[in-house]
Amino acid sequence: MIKFEIKHICQQTGARLGILHTEHGSFETPIFMPVGTQATVKMLENSEIEEVSDGLILGNTYHLWLQPGSEIVKKHGGIRGFSKWNGALLTDSGGFQVFSLSNSRKITEEGVEFCHHKSGEKLFMSPEDSIKIQENLAADIIMSFDECPPFHADDEYMKKSVERTIRWAKRGKDVLTTDQALFGIVQGGPNKELRKYCAQELEKIGFPGYSIGGLSVGESKEEMYQMLEYLKDVLPSDKPRYLMGVGTPEDLIIGSIFKVDMFDCVHATRIARHGQALTSIGKVNIKNKKFEEDLSPLDSACDCKVCKTYTKSYLRHLFKAEEVLGQRLISYHNLYFLKNLMKQIREAIKNDSLRTFKEDFFTKYKQ
| Residues taking part in catalysis | 92, 264
Q: How far apart are CA 52 and CA 42, in angstroms?
A: 13
Q: Which residues make Cβ contacts (< 8 Å) with residue 164, sequence separation at least 6?
A: 107, 109, 147
Q: How far apart are CA 224 and CA 16, in angstroms?
A: 19
Query: For strand 112-115 and strand 122-125, is the pairing parallel, antiparallel, or unpaired?
Result: antiparallel
CB 315 within 8 A of CB 309: no
Burial of 109 from C-beta contacts in 10 A (0-12 / 13-18 / 19+) = exposed
